[in-house]
Structure 1
Amino acid sequence: MKNRKLVRTTIGRPSQKREENKTKAKPEQPIDIIKQYTSQINDVIYKKIPTDEGLVTVIYSNSLVEKMTLQAMVLIPLANHLNQIHQVSEMLDTSNASEVTSKLISGYTLLYFHETKLLVNIDTYSAPTRAITNTETESTVIGPQDAFTESLETNISLVRRRIRNPMLKNEDRTIGSETNTKISILYMEDIVNKENLEKVRGRIDKLNQPYFTDISILKQLIEDNPFSPFPQFYMSVRPDSITHYLIDGRIAIFMDNSQSALICPTSFLEMFVSIEDYYNRWTTATLLRFLRFFGFFLTIMITPMYVSILTFHPEIFPYELLLNLQESRAKVPFPPLFEVLFLELIIEVLREAGSRMPAKVGQTIGIVGGIVIGTAAVEAGLISNILIVLVAISALLSFLPPIFLMSNTSRFVRYIFIISAGMFGLMGQMLAFAWLIAHLLRLNSLGTPFMSPIIPRKAGDLKDGIFRFPIAFLKNKTGIARSQKK
């Protein structure tokens, strides 16, 4: 028994020594803790610099801080004017290692004073950003030509250059448990509806998404009905467009590393409004809005009408036109429904292939591919030449809305109408149209009816609907924003 006890004690002593050694080996200096957290981050640089207050270790991310910025804000003041460092720096809690590391990977430079055990940080974020250029997605002939970039600070500055009012407020938040993406909520404090603002804050605070790479992801998460094919928030890359809606009492949301900005609430009619409409004469603006608005309904109706008439209601066409249709379809072995779906899918393939390729090559493929495939398909008897004309017109009409997301919506809704027309003819089209109207009436944008100001009707807002009255009549705020000022 004694031997056993001796064995146990002799086994236990080395383990106690190992535990003591481990406790002694644990790093106690904040600089050692930071090195542990950044051990696999190769762009984190450590520089030891002797100063009047002793040795100072400068820690920064080489990919987020430019050398010139580091030299001007940190290195030169450390060598000559140490008081400047203390004036512009902020003290950090050395016990909170996660906060210290998050500051480092956000572009801050950390300074650790070895003598006083003091850890401070200086905002030296100077990552390379894209210059301000004109936009290709919302290009206009009249008006400003600048567009947002992927820099949050640059985008906010473009808006503040246009609204030089202290009532323009912005609230910064961080979203995304993994990406820690910075966003900013902009609004006019004396105009915005407080209820709308609280809704936006509440929806953003409840987010539980690990990553955000673009603001379109945020838009889908905070919309009233995320299952709808229709966008319920307005997206734009133009500072003048965002300024217009901010003055009206709307709320703008910006995201770092995203070029677009969100505007809420908004309505269905505003999806067909371009900021260039306010730079044109009211007659020209009204004509263009008519084209965009009715072009949306034409693009979802033209090819389904072809399917329903040829399949169920050929007596609707005049006799001469019906003869031409039958002659063009004499060699086509497929029913109109499959013929239309086949050609629509070909158009979608050409559109996607052209958008994914370089600009010059994509245009060539779109034009040459459409001509070659269309001509070959007609000669082979796969489709009729009249259908090619209808599908081409439908594709052009889908690009009329100034918001690209609305163009995508029209493409999706068109397939619903085509299938309904192929199954039930004109009655199927009317059923699909009734579904479309009922769906739009059920939608809300931040609690505001999406079909406003048509339903519920507000006569004052109709001055800036499909018709655009002269600018002198558009002084009041719209009812969609429910702003504090009229």
Structure 2
Amino acid sequence: MKIGKLLRAKMGTSSYEKVQSEERANNQKALQTINQIKEHVKHMSDVVLKDIATVEGIVTIIHCSSLVENMTMQNMIFTPLANHLNQIHQDAEVIDSTDTEKIVSNIVVGHTLLYFHRKNLLLSMDTFSVSTRAISTSEVESTVMGPQDSFTESLQTNISLIKRRIQNPKLKNEDRIIGTETNTKMSILYMEHIVNQENLEKVKSRIDKLDYPGYPDISILKQLIEDNPLSPFPQFYMTVKPDTAMHYLLDGRIVILMDNSQEVVICPTSFFEMFVSIEDYYNRWTTTSLLRMLRFGGFFLTIMMTPMYISTLTFHPEILPYELLVNLQESRSKVPFSPLLEVLFIELIIEVLREAGSRMPAKVGQTIGIVGGIVIGTAAVEAGLVSNILVVLVAISALLSFLSPTFVMSNTSRFIRYIFILSAGLFGLFGQMLAFAWLISHLLIINSLDTPFMTPIIPRKASDLLNSLIRFPTSYLKEKMGISRAQKK
């Protein structure tokens, strides 16, 4: 009361009442704003509202405790509020206190809001800080030579891994927010002076046109922006290796990264590049050429081996040498099924073992896979369900399917193999050739960013042949690949 009388005597009755009226109005507005925020976050148990007294009056701090660590709050909010209030005003972004939608969206992405009651001022600071997995070696794309680090689920960490390798201002990254419900952050990386602008605009356009609720992994995004979504073949390359991403960026490709996803997407890509590993460029050209031919030939062997068994035994036994035919007939003497049913049975057993092994704990999965395969295979042969020669063929075929460096391509080869098995069971070698003709025609039809998927095998330019099945020495590999259509030659 005495303070009020002194202020009234010093300021005058009218001025004092005016100040009091403004304070009451500010308090009412502050209370209304805080109540509105509380109403929108009342079912979000991890949202914390805390009032702190500062030299500028009461400040209400609002943040999501599950997205902001306590140490971050201490360093970025509490300490500056107590000692360096000007720093808060310099670093924070002013937002409209009546825009409740923006207020809530800031909270759920890890921002901290500071509401100054006296000034009716609402500030937002990016304090997002959650625990992330440390950079480690890749369990998906293991390599013997070269860097061993791999991407993590943090977008910023992944970008830093690439920018640490390419310290060039021409490396650009454009961010996007995708997912109508999840608001997931992603980034498009490219070399500005190398990338083909037409390809870049296509990628941006396809992403901007997406209307999908959420992206738990970047593989969902990849499927939505591919040229031929009905094709069993992946049309974009996916990797977890930063050095692989760097290699394709320097070749003029576009790299897409997404928060909460370890893998990155590289586009455009060709069918042949699905059998190329970054380790090929660290190895001698002779060894690399041998491995590339093995991987490429392994894809066709894995889809042809068991169908050939069906064709020869069902329709064309005369094409086999007499001694081999006798051995096959002896091996199948106790088998009551046709070669088609026999192959389908053992192939499905292999699929079950593979799927069960991948879903079990790591220490149990390997044991079950190896022991289960041996026990079931031996028992099936002794019981007369399958022939021992077929068990060998299926085992080799399964191993060949994993020669491709990309796991998605391994899955594709397994699917394609069933098409060849059914074709061989119905029409023999003629059916296999029909399936093979379909495979080649399909590969020639599909595109990657409107670029033919078979580009390096049917080169756009002669220099592509230097980096194909036969990889020439590194000194010859100066030209960009034709599929990149790069600006810089």
TM tier, smaller: over 0.9
Task: Tell me the residue number matched to 1:341.
Answer: 344
- Please name the residue that 1:464 is paired with: 467
CA drift of 1:467 comes to 1.1
1:453 and 2:456 matched: yes
* Cα shift at 1:33: 1.5
Structure 2 distance, partners of 1:139, 1:242, is 15
Match of 2:417 among 414, 420, 424: 414
TM alignment of 1:314-463, pairs within 5 A: 314-455=317-458, 457-463=460-466
Q: Is 1:100 aligned with 2:103?
A: yes
Tell me which residue corresponds to 2:255: 252
Distance 2:248 2:98 in 1: 45
Corresponding residue for 2:130? Answer: 127
1:37–1:101 CA contact under 8 A, matched in 2: yes
Contact 2:256 2:265 in 1 (8 A): yes
State the shift of 1:455 in Å: 2.6
CA distance in 2, matches of 1:84, 1:266: 48
Q: Which amino acid aligns with 1:310?
A: L
Unpaired runs of at least 5, structure 1: 1-24
Q: What SS does the aligned partner of 2:266 have? A: strand
- Is the CA contact (8 Å cut-off) linking 2:460 and 2:482 kept in structure 1? no
CA contact 2:59–2:114 (8 Å) conserved in 1: yes
Deviation at 1:351, TM superposition (A): 0.2
2:181 to 150, 175, 178: 178
2:53 counterpart of 1:75: no
Q: Which amino acid aligns with 1:392?
A: A
| AA in 2 matched with 1:174 | I
Q: Residues 225-244 of structure 1: matches in 2 within 5 Å?
A: 225-244=228-247
Q: Which residue of 2 aligns with 1:6?
A: none
Contact persistence 1:57–1:111 (CA under 8 A): yes
Q: 2:477 aligns with which of 471, 474, 478?
A: 474
Q: CA deviation at 1:479?
A: 1.1
Per-residue deviation at 1:457? 4.4
- Measured against aligned partners, the alpha-carbon deviations of 1:108-136 in whole angstroms (never above 9, x if no partner) come to 11101111111111111111100000001
Match of 2:302 among 295, 299, 303: 299
Structure 2 residue aligned with 1:14 = none
154-163 or 444-453, which deviates more: 444-453
Q: In structure 1, which of residues 132, 143, 148 is the aligned counterpart of residue 146 of structure 2?
A: 143
Q: How far does residue 98 in structure 1 lie from its aligned partner after superposition?
A: 1.2
Measure, in 1, the Cα distance between the counterparts of 2:29 and 2:228.
Answer: 52
Query: In 2, Cα distance between the equivalents of 1:48 and 1:176?
Result: 34
Q: Distance in 1 between matches of 2:186 and 2:464?
A: 31
Q: CA deviation at 1:93?
A: 1.4
TM-score by structure 1 length? 0.94
Work out whether residues 54 and 81 of structure 2, in 8 Å CA contact, stay in contact via their aligned partners in 1. Answer: yes
Deviates more, 1:245-254 or 1:91-100: 91-100
* Structure-1 residue corresponding to 2:270: 267
Letter aligned with residue 279 of structure 2: E
RMSD: 1.2
Shift of 1:97: 1.1
Structure 2 distance, partners of 1:26, 1:407, is: 62
Q: Distance in 2 between matches of 1:126 and 1:214?
A: 20
Please say if 1:223 is aligned against 2:220: no
Alignment check: 8 A CA contact 2:177 2:184 kept: yes
Output the amino acid matched with 2:293.
F
- Whole-angstrom CA distance in 2 between matches of 1:143 and 1:379: 46
The aligned amino acid for 2:209 is: K
SS state at 2:221 partner:
helix
Name the counterpart of 2:49. Answer: 46
Contact 1:45–1:60 (CA<8 Å) still a contact in 2?
Answer: yes
Matched to 1:54, the amino acid is G
User: 2:137–2:149: 8 Å Cα contact kept in structure 1?
Assistant: yes
Q: How many residue pairs align between the two structures?
A: 462
Amino acid in structure 2 at the alignment position of 1:400? L
Question: Which segments of 5 or more consecutive residues in structure 2 lack a partner in the other structure?
Answer: 1-27
Distance in 1 between residues matched to 2:435 and 2:366, nearest whole Å: 34
Q: Which residue of 1 aligns with 2:204?
A: 201
Instruction: Tell me, yes or no, if the aligned pair for 1:309 and 1:316 is still in contact at 8 Å.
Output: yes
Q: Find the residue that maps to 1:301 and give its secondary structure.
A: helix
Mapped contact 1:27–1:33 kept (Cα < 8 A): no
Distance 1:305 1:476 in 2: 41
Distance in 2 between residues matched to 1:252 and 1:454, nearest whole Å = 23
CA distance, structure 1, for counterparts of residue 444 and residue 34 of structure 2 = 60
In the alignment, the residues of structure 1 paired with residue 195 and residue 323 of structure 2 have an alpha-carbon distance, to the nearest angstrom, of 60
Structure 1: which amino acid aligns with 2:477?
L
Matched-pair contact (CA < 8 Å) for 1:149–1:259: yes
**What SS class does the counterpart of residue 29 from structure 1 fall into?**
helix
Partner Cα distance (1:379, 1:26) in 2: 84
**Partner letter of residue 277 of structure 1?**
D
Secondary structure in 2 matching 1:300: helix
1:230 is paired with a residue whose SS is coil
- Pick one of 282, 285, 291 that aligns with 1:282: 285
